[in-house]
Structure 1
Amino acid sequence: MTEPQNAAPQKAAPRKEPSQAELEAGRLLFAGPCDFFHGSQTLDQLPPPALPEIAFAGRSNVGKSSLINALTGRKALARASSEPGRTKQLNFFDLGGRLVLVDMPGYGYAKAAKSVKEDWQKTMFSYLRGRPNLDRVVLLIDSRVGFKDSDREACDLLDKAAVVFQVVLTKCDQLSASDLQKRIEEVEAVLAKHAAAYPTVMATSSEKGQGIAQLRAMMAGFAAPPSR
């Protein structure tokens, strides 16, 4: 159950770097196999809930496919749609039988038909609210532009679904250190107003590898124990 939307904002917790053991757990998890195993265009096509799931959401062209490929060390595991904003399919990837990554359709494409946008909201909300093994949503925000209206709508949707989400900034190599710090503080101020938001922000670059090890470590904390 979410907290009231007018609850007093809470200050972001200090950013904590993962330990060497956590970094190694993340490295080992993502060094294993990662394979596409299912695509769902409708809710009745969802695979049975089994392994822990982490879903990736973000605006079209935010760099979601590039980030998933960087995390898994594959060049074309996740593919960007040739028509941004029109892909409706949820894509499921099995990470070594321990964790499932879910690539959600991009949102916020200006030229997408209104019916497509409404369909995205309806389908995604139903998935987010009803998926018992969904442990976290990684919400990607382009560090160069920060929050847009569609991102704020996505945060509201996640609040209503009562699913914890963590913002990960993409393309951070294109900002100076000072500009990146300002962007992080701006985003954390927005997140303080959302009940379902994890209070700290992660900064990444798929191109330069920035933050990839830390993101892997975070995600490894949700993975099922390795089979013996």
Structure 2
Amino acid sequence: MSPEEQKAQEYRERAASKLFSGRVDFLLSAPQLKFLPEPTVPEIAFCGRSNVGKSSLLNALTGRKAIARASVTPGRTQELNFFEVGEPTLFRLVDMPGYGFAKAPPKVVEKWKRLVRDYLRGRQVLQRNLVLVDSRHGLKDVDREMIKMLDESAVGYRIVLTKADKIKKSELDKTVAAVSAEAKKHIAAFPRVHVTSSEKGMGIAELRAAVIEDALGADWADS
């Protein structure tokens, strides 16, 4: 990255931090498509295996300690949770239900698949999906199933490695290389894999700027 590009990136990251320091509010939980909010603003969705660190990442991105608490409340784990950003609302973050249920009844799994598939295929304001992957484990078959669903739904997505501080750098480098190689095989995947740690703040500023760019466009920081 050239000095000019670095300066521009730092500017975007500062602008993103300022935007997220403003209004970020929980809007609603939608157990079915008929409960979705009106499609009036862009949406960025987050998905990942159960315990991948999705709530922690959402909290880190928004600079809050408990913005995503609603999404982990018992009874809401199989719903789409919507958060509004900006005053007036500029875009929404969507916390999708975690997947990879080891002991879930088949009916629960099928209900999840139907809700997610229908949302992905029918939500015109959905701009990007972030697929969260635990750095310690890399891509699992359930992640690949989710990626296949995104490919079939023609939804562009970024792959985000979480908990990068939990493994050695040498192991992290191997995981990044493997996931990047697999991502390049999918036309809907953003080619660069994001590496993050919610606990240490690694990669959060860059991802925050990328999320807003996905929602509002490349020139959002200059508007």
Q: When the two structures are superposed, what TM-score results if normalisation uses the length of structure 2?
A: 0.88
Corresponding residue number in structure 2 for 1:13: none
Deviation for aligned residue 1:83: 6.2
2:171 counterpart of 1:165: no
Corresponding residue number in structure 2 for 1:81: 72
Tell me the SS of whatever aligns to 2:64: coil
Which residue of 96, 100, 123 corresponds with 2:92? 100
Corresponding residue number in structure 1 for 2:140: 148
Q: For 1:171-210, list aligned pairs within 5 A.
A: 171-210=163-202
Distance in 2 of aligned mates of 1:32 and 1:83 = 28
Segments of structure 1 that go 5 or more residues without pairing to the other structure are 1-15
Q: Deviations over 1:123-151 (max 9, x none)?
A: 10110111111100000000000111110
Report the count of equivalent residues.
211
| Bigger helix fraction | 2
Tell me the SS of whatever aligns to 2:94: strand
Check the 8 A contact 1:52/1:134 in 2, yes or no.
yes
Q: When the two structures are superposed, what TM-score results if normalisation uses the length of structure 1?
A: 0.87
Aligned partner letter, 1:92? F
Segments of structure 2 that go 5 or more residues without pairing to the other structure are none
Check the 8 A contact 2:33/2:115 in 1, yes or no.
yes
Distance in 2 of aligned mates of 1:91 and 1:157 = 19
Distance in 2 of aligned mates of 1:19 and 1:67 = 21
Q: Deviations over 1:53-72 (max 9, x none)?
A: 10000000000001101111
Deviation for aligned residue 1:222: 3.2
Aligned partner letter, 2:72? S
Deviates more, 1:27-36 or 1:187-196: 187-196
2:13 counterpart of 1:23: yes
Corresponding residue number in structure 2 for 1:6: none
Corresponding residue number in structure 2 for 1:58: 48
Deviation for aligned residue 1:223: 4.1
Tell me the SS of whatever aligns to 1:35: strand
Cα RMSD of the aligned pairs, angstroms, is 2.0
Q: Which has the higher contact order (CA 8 A, sep 6+)?
A: 1
Aligned partner letter, 2:98? G
2:108 counterpart of 1:116: yes
Deviates more, 1:191-200 or 1:107-116: 191-200
Deviation for aligned residue 1:208: 0.6
Q: Deviations over 1:74-94 (max 9, x none)?
A: 11111263669x821111000
Which residue of 66, 71, 75 corresponds with 2:61? 71
Check the 8 A contact 1:99/1:222 in 2, yes or no.
no
Distance in 2 of aligned mates of 1:76 and 1:190 = 33
What is the percent sequence identity of the aligned residues?
A: 50
2:31 counterpart of 1:41: yes
Change (3 A) 1:110 1:149: same
Corresponding residue number in structure 1 for 2:81: 91
